Chains A and B, each alone.
Chain A
Amino acid sequence: MNYSHFPAIAVMGLFLGAFLVEIFGSKSKIVRNIIVFVFTTCAAALMLYLVKPVMLDGEIISYWMGNWEPVDGYAIGIGYEIDQLSMFFAILVVLTIWLSAVYSFRYMERDRHLGHYYTLFLMLSGAVLGLVCTGDVFNLFVMVEIMTFAAVALTAFRNKKGSNLEAAFKYLIVGSVGSGFTLTGITLLYMQCHTLNMAQLSSMLSGNLTPVTVLALALMFTGFGVKSFIVPFHAPAADAYMSAPTSVSMVFSGMVNKAGVYGMIRLVYIIFRAMDIEAIQILLVLLGVITMFIGVTMALAQHDLKRLLAFHSISQIGYVITAIGLCTALGVTGGLFHALNHTLFKGLLFLCAGAVLYAAGTTDLDRLGGLSKKMPKTCICFLIGAFSISGLPPFNGFASKWMIYQATYEKAVTTGNLFYAFATVTAVVVSVMTLASFIKVTQAVFFGQCPAQLQQTREVPFSMRLPMWIMALLCVASGVLYGDLYRFILAPASNAALNVTGYIDAMLGSGTAASAGIADIEVAKVSFSYWNPTAWLILFAIILIAVCWVVVFGEKTRGAVLQSESSQDVDGKYATFFSGEKSMHSHVGGSDLFWGFKKNFSGYFRVMQGIHSGNVNDYALMAVAAAAIFIVFMFVVLL
């Protein structure tokens, strides 16, 4: 079967679905849901079919739209090119789209104008899928624009609340600044190279950077930085993730900011091949470290669940950028693995947040509590997500963070640069702070005392729980089966990032890369067996025995395990201890926790409060100032 059409069909299918939903689906709920389900499933199936040829057989799919093939070695048409790196991100995208669509059916049922919602949703999906599939840098920009505007409109979808409109406005302004930089950069590139094809740009730019192309690099770097919401472009992200419907927040953190990361990798690794320069590595690692630290400390200060998760998205992207910036096989693999894991566990956490919002009507940590008895399944899913993001073994966050620590320290030892060792230290500390902030959420939302107004809360419907269970299962699976995951998905993807020859040759005919003086580099095989199968066997044996112990003896010890069944029967024996005071609702909420930490960091938080002013002018200024810094930096180090 000729499958080179599949990526184009998947992308166009999603756009087609967007129009069909608007035309046929605005009245009938069933028609609308069927259209959305069919088109997202088709896109997912088409892309997943390509996993075998691309990932396992190492084929690179190139497809010229309308059969506009290169003339005299110059690409004139739009080409789609799916190498292993694109495929890796395409997997993340289709997975997120499908799960979010399934979740939306029930989650969004109380909203009006759902036709518009699904139209925008499919536009966003198609744009991000197109972005990772395209081999043309202007087409990439078009997709970035569609993505940004669909995302802005979805942020403001629940437009009854002023704060949602404000969030969308901030996203719009800062996002447009980023798009503007990207477009300027692309224009400069076209001016210099007379081509927009990424493979061709790569072969032309390799080893001959001029001031104009360096300027283009700096501008596009800023542009993709804005799209991936790294510090200092992160401020609108927190508002946007919080205001958007949760199914969309999940899409934002699952694929929209990954699209920025993808653009960043494509830019520095493939188009400019700038990663051999140590200063660029240090710049990326520095940005990553700052991003992860600011993200997590800001998250610790939040008292709204979705906003907290938004800051964690920023922080986790910091890990990805740090690892990507190392430019070693272990680093890139770890970074991509963490990107995958972030999609899984952050998606899961956002879905759980959505479930809480759906069931309890609020995500304010100071007004929730004791929901684990009302929503036990959501609670379990949330705990799995929280342990994954905090990197507790055996969940997936641990596997990827382990690789990132190893990679940063390996870099530190091989280069003798202590800076990378501090990256390791920061990454570990940030990981512990991540754990802290999820302990806070767990305590504030699921455990503790249940307020009177939440007594009637019920578990969410099955179609909302299904994506949650799938995500939770994938979180555990990718943590345990990291070896297979590495062999089949991560190794080809990181290889594609580090080796550009295959990408160029597939698009422009074999030998092009060699004639441009680009040779294949030998990518070291990553050895990351932090835990061998025997150890797993031991662990499972112990857990099995422990579980048996609980089941057999836990219930039948000489004493009895007692808990009163009815809620009326709260006598002294089963009541919580209140030191003799009358039993009342006294819940230790989210804002009450971690006082010792907050006290010591109060100066830092005051500064951060000043920076996150909520004023869009400041944010736009920060973006422009960062662009200026990047331009100066790159001129200094590259020329």
Chain B
Amino acid sequence: MINVLATIKIIVKTLIFPGAFFAMAAGLLLAGIDRKVLARMQKRIGPPVMQPTYDFFKLMGKETIVPHAANRRVYMAAPVVGFVSLAVMMLFIPIGGWCAFTGDADLIVILYLLTIPAVALIVGGSASGSPFAGIGISREMVTMMSYELPLIIVFLAVAKKVGGDQLFFGFRAITNWQIANGPMIAQLAMIPAALAMLLIIPAEVGTQPFDVAEAETEICEGPLIEYSGAPLGLFKLNTAVKMLVMTSLFTALFLGGITSGIHTGITLWGIAIVDHILRALIHVAISAVITVVSMTTIHAATARLKIEHLFKFYWTAVTGLALISLILVWIGF
């Protein structure tokens, strides 16, 4: 016996909110805001905020050329796999204290789901058979190794601070703790971890100065070099959605529960739709602020790093910040 309403709910969650459609729309919006603000910072006028959306739809209609050396199946599937995992991630990350499904979704699942888009980019680039892509995937992988270390330490610090009963990394525990005790970032011990997280976001998304993997001026966008048409559009979309996912993750970890106080009391079919819409809007607004702080500003102020410097930066400075938080939390701050 299939519960029809539950099934419809799942489908809506998956496809509309907070799944595929919301991720796509909000992600592209964030990418547009990033470009616009960057342009203003550099005293340019910049493209319209909707430009990434136009680009995406334009690319969807273009011809797709698969190079002769490529493994066609892997080459075509890679961007789709990346997008699917990003959309799934949006179902796990709470938005305004509300999770698309209330399982024991936790930070480790997120940690691993986060690697999938990167792996998709790597495998796709690798499957295209280009030596430029070969260099690009090597750098992408090293970037990944660099930020995973501080990222897990940040997660451990948050988990220890929350001190859940059995599943330490559960989002539910993290959100509830923040509703009870105020946002995580207000804790003195967690400020270094929040800084580390702000520095991890641009590397995860791949914006300057941490865009060594795609380095347009040296290796012609590395893994994306052979991509064209719809798959290229999907990869561009993935980057945009990654912005949303990473900023949402930051919000969930350090600013969780801010919007959970919103209760208008208006319901439709038993669902508090107005609340959800308000929370989602505030959530996207917060994401936009984090995008500007952690990605746009750094982008405007710096030039691209070399890969070995990137690795060293993350394994020393950023890891150090995260470790300070972990140790502070451990000794009881």
Contact = CB atoms under 8 A, between A and B. Distances in A.
Interface of A: 370, 372-373, 376, 379, 383, 387, 390-393, 398, 402, 405-406, 409-410, 413, 418, 421, 424-425, 428-429, 432-433, 435-436, 439-440, 442-443, 446-450, 527, 529-532, 534-535, 537-539, 541-543, 545-547, 549-550, 553-554, 557-564, 567, 569-570, 573-579, 586-588, 592-597, 599-600
A406 B107 CA distance: 11
Contacts of A570: 68
A560 B72 CA distance: 14
Interface stretch (B9-17, B180-188, B285-293): B9-17
Q: Chain A contact residues: over half helix, strand or loop, or mixed?
A: helix
Contacts of A428: 111, 148-149, 152
Interface string B269-309: 00000000000000000000000000000000000001110
Main secondary structure of the interface of B (DSSP, over half): helix
27 contacts: A376-B73, A379-B74, A409-B156, A409-B169, A413-B168, A421-B330, A425-B149, A436-B145, A530-B104, A531-B103, A531-B105, A534-B103, A535-B105, A546-B80, A550-B77, A554-B76, A557-B229, A559-B63, A561-B64, A562-B66, A563-B70, A570-B68, A575-B67, A592-B134, A595-B142, A595-B307, A600-B311
Given A534-B101, A575-B67, A593-B134, 5 more contacts: A439-B119, A440-B141, A559-B63, A576-B69, A596-B310
Nearest to A553: B230
A574 B67 contact: yes
Contact of A576 (B80, B87, B130, B163): B130
Contacts of A442: 123, 126
A540 B84 CA distance: 10
B307 A596 contact: yes
Contact of A559 (B130, B145, B152, B230): B230
Interface residue tally on B, bucketed by range? 35 or more
Contacts of A387: 119
Contact of B144 (A432, A569, A595): A432
Given A409-B159, A531-B109, A538 B131 contact: no
B13 A579 contact: no
A576 B226 contact: yes
Nearest to B323: A425
* 3 residue pairs, one from A and one from B, having the closest CB atoms: A588-B134, A596-B307, A559-B63
Contacts of A432: 115, 144-145, 148
A392 to B, nearest CB: 6
Given A550-B76, A574-B65, A586-B131, A538 B13 contact: yes
B128 interface: yes
A276 B225 CA distance: 57
A413 B326 CA distance: 12
Given A393-B109, A595-B138, A542 B152 contact: no
Interface string B140-156: 01101100110011001
B101 A447 contact: no
B135 to A, nearest CB: 6
B173 interface: no
A541 B11 contact: yes
A600 B68 contact: no
Given A554-B230, A600-B311, A448 B129 contact: yes
A439 B153 contact: no
Interface string B79-123: 011011001100100000000110111101101110110010011
B72 to A, nearest CB: 6
A448 B128 CA distance: 7
Contacts of B160: 413, 421
A425 B150 CA distance: 9
B88 A538 contact: yes
A450 B67 CA distance: 14
Interface string B319-333: 000000011001000
A575 B142 contact: no
Nearest to B106: A530
Nearest to A409: B168
A101 to B, nearest CB: 32
B149 A429 contact: yes
B312 interface: yes
A612 to B, nearest CB: 22
A595 B129 contact: no
Given A443-B126, A447-B129, A539-B88, A594 B108 contact: no
Contact of A577 (B109, B226, B307): B226
Given A429-B152, A550-B77, A576-B69, A535 B84 contact: no
B302 to A, nearest CB: 18
B61 interface: yes
Nearest to A585: B131
Given A376-B71, A413-B163, A532 B104 contact: yes
